[in-house]
Structure 1
Amino acid sequence: MADPLPTLGFGTYKLEDPEDCVENVQRALDVGYRHIDTAQVYENEEYVGDAIAESDVPREEIFLATKIGTENLAYEDVLASVEESREKLGVETIDLLYVHWPTGEYDAEDTLEAFDDLVQNGTIDRIGLSNFRPDQLEEAERILQAPVFAHQVECHPMLPQDELLAYAEDNDHHLVAYSPIARGEVAEVPEINDIAGNYNATAAQVALAWLLKRGISPIPKASGDHVEENYRALELVDELTEADVEKIEGIDDRERLIDPDDAPWNDPPAAE
C-alpha cells in the first residue's frame, strides 16, 4: 500500500475569514488531527499557514495538502502558482499537491510533467488527483513518473464511490473523501440515525466511522465544537458491526452534491 496517510483529516473549505480559519485549524491540531487539507481556490492558504506556524504541533507531524486551481494547470502556471502556495503556507515542502479538477487548463501531458518536476526538485512530496474518472486516472498513471498517492472525490453514504474505492485499492493509492457528511444531510437519513442511537453518537460520527472502516480518509470541514465531535468518530470505527455497515450500504437514496456542468462524469469518454 502507499505510504500512510493520517486517517481522519480536517478540511478548510469555506473557512475564508482569517481569524475563523486560524482558530479552527489550530483547534483541529490541538484535538489531534494531523492531516490538513486546503486549496488555492479556497483563498485561505495563508491563514492555514499562519495556524500551522502558531501551533504547538511540530511541522513534521502535520500532513499538509493543497490543490492547484483549474486556471493554473498549464506547465508554467503550475510551477508559478505552487510557489505562491508554498509561500502562503509558509512551508518548504508541500506534503501532497492535487490537480483539483481535470478541467479548465488541464492537459494531462503538460500538467503532469510539471507535477513530476515538482517532486523531483523537492517542492512537493506526493502527487494527488481529484475528481477524475477511472479512465483519466489510468491516463495520468501512464504519464506520471512518480506514483499517484491519493485521489480525492465527493464520498459519503449517499455517494459511496464503490468503483473508485476498488480502483484505489487495485492501484495502490488512497481514496480521500470530501463532503463526507454530505453537508450535514446524513443527519436526515433514518438508517444512519438508527445506528447513531445505538452508540449514543451523532449521524456525522457514524458517516465518518463508516468511511474510515472502508479504508477511506474523510476530510470533514468543521468549526467550533464540531471539530472535536467529528474527531471522536475514530472511537466508533471498531464498534460498527458488519450489520451496521450493510445497513448504510443499503441506503436507497443516492445524491451527488458537487456537480458542475463541466465535471468529468458529465463528459464521459467516447466509446471505442
Structure 2
Amino acid sequence: MEVIEILREASNRIYKNVKDLAGTEEAAGDFGRGAGGDISRNIDITAEQTVLDYLKEIKFECIVLGEECGRVELSDNPKGYIIMDAIDGSANAVRGVPFFCSSLAFATENKLSSITDGVITDLTNGDMYWASEGKGSFLNEKQIKVQQKEPIYKIVGINTSGGSNELMQRMYPIFQNHNHTRHFGANALEMALFARGLMDVFIDFRDKIRIQDIAAGCIIVKESGGLLLDADLNPLDADLSYETRVSFIAAANQKILDEIMSQIN
C-alpha cells in the first residue's frame, strides 16, 4: 500500500469517528496539555487514537509526531515520520463551529522539505485534500490549482491570533488597503482552501505555528502550484522538532506576493 493510501484511510477513519462528536459536551474534557502545548480535548484524543490504532493494525513502520501524544515510535527501523494534527481547529470543533480538519503528512527525513505526502480532511463534510510529491494536489478525485486568474475579489487569509502589538502594526496596511481578509481558525484547512484557489494569499507571521499544523498543507500548497516562503521570503523549511515554530506566507504567484509584501510595514 502506498503512503498516500495509508494517510487517506487513516483520515477517513478519523472522519467516521468524530463527525458526530463536534459541538457536543462529549467533545470537550480537559486531558492536560499535549506535546504541542495546547490543552488536549476528548475529540483530539479520539482522533489521534484512531490513527495510532490503524497504523498499528497495518504494522506501518514509522515514527508518529502527534500534537497531543508526542513522539510515538512504532518501529525500530522506521520508514519515516507521520506528522499528525488529528484535529486542527479544536476550539471550533468543541464549540461546533463548522471549520476544522485533520492533517496528516509523511516525511522521509527530519525536515519539512522531505515531506512526500499529505492529506487534509474537512471533518465537517468529509472533503479530502491530498497530494504526493510530483503528482499534483487533489480535492477528492479532482485536481486543484491555486488561483490562476486575476480575482474579482482579492482574498487574503491572515492569522494574527495572539499576535504582538508590533505584528499588528506591521499587518495593519493589509487590513486597510481594501483587501478582503479572512481567518477561520484552522491553518491546515485554510492552506487547503488556498491551494484550491479560494484565497490568493495566506499569511501567518506570528512565529507561533507548529509543524503539525502545516505539514500536510506544505505539500498540498506546493503541488497546487503555490509559492510557500518563510518570513524572509526564502523557501519554507524547518526541522520537525516540537520546539520549532515558524512563520510563512503562501501566495498564488509572484505578482500578488510582491503586492502584499509591499504593504507590510
Same fold (TM over 0.5): no
Larger proportion of helix? 1
The two structures have a TM-score, normalised by structure 1, of 0.27
Larger proportion of strand? 2
